[in-house]
Amino acid sequence: MSLTAFYLLAVFIIAFAVVAVTATNMVRAAFSLAVTFFLIAGLYLMLGSPTLAAIQFMVNASAIPIMTLFIIMMTQSRTTPTPRLWQMVLGFIAAAAVLGFLRAAVEHGESQTTAASTAVLGEGLLSAALLPFEVASVLLLLAMVGAIALARRRAG
């Protein structure tokens, strides 16, 4: 893995994530979010798991931004009001606190990765994690039915 590729990806991920949480134009924020998730899929490729990269690309970088754009258009909220001053101060304090808590993370100096093939991942998913896998399918079904029931226009 090359350090240059990582830094390039990291810089663009952080830049697009900052645009996604600060842009007043909601459509621009949604597209920035899509690009952020797309670049995170590139990080998954660097970490040697093409399966997760593909899933990230299909779900987080494609389906979720489309759903977000739909809901932005349906609720006619193309712009969001700028945050109040106390909100910005609180946000900066919280972000700085998180970074302060996590500054010890840089001390992990391992540099040897092991690639995870799709076969290994599938085997683990259907043997060790079989029960969570089934629960996740039920959860997705419940979310689908619940979303339809909630968003349905009531008669009369």
Partner 1 sequence: MVTLGHFLLLAGILLAIGLYGVLTRRNLIAVLMSVEILLNAAALAFVSVAAYRDPHLFAGQIFALFIIVVAAAELSIGFAILLNVYRTHGVVDSDAISEMRG
**CA 97 → CA 17, 22, 90, 91, distances in Å?**
19, 19, 10, 10
Q: Does 130 bind partner 1 (CB under 8 A)?
A: no
Q: Does 156 bind partner 1 (CB under 8 A)?
A: no
Q: Look at residue 30 and give its three-state secondary structure.
A: helix
51 in Cβ contact with 118 (< 8 Å): yes
Give residues 76-105 in contact with partner 1 (rule: CB under 8 A). Answer: 76-77, 80-81, 83-84, 87-88, 90-92, 94-96, 98-99, 102, 105
CB of 155 to partner 1, least distance (A): 14
78 in Cβ contact with 27 (< 8 Å): yes
Q: Does 73 bind partner 1 (CB under 8 A)?
A: no
From 12, 28, 51, 54, residue interacting with partner 1 (rule: CB under 8 A): 51
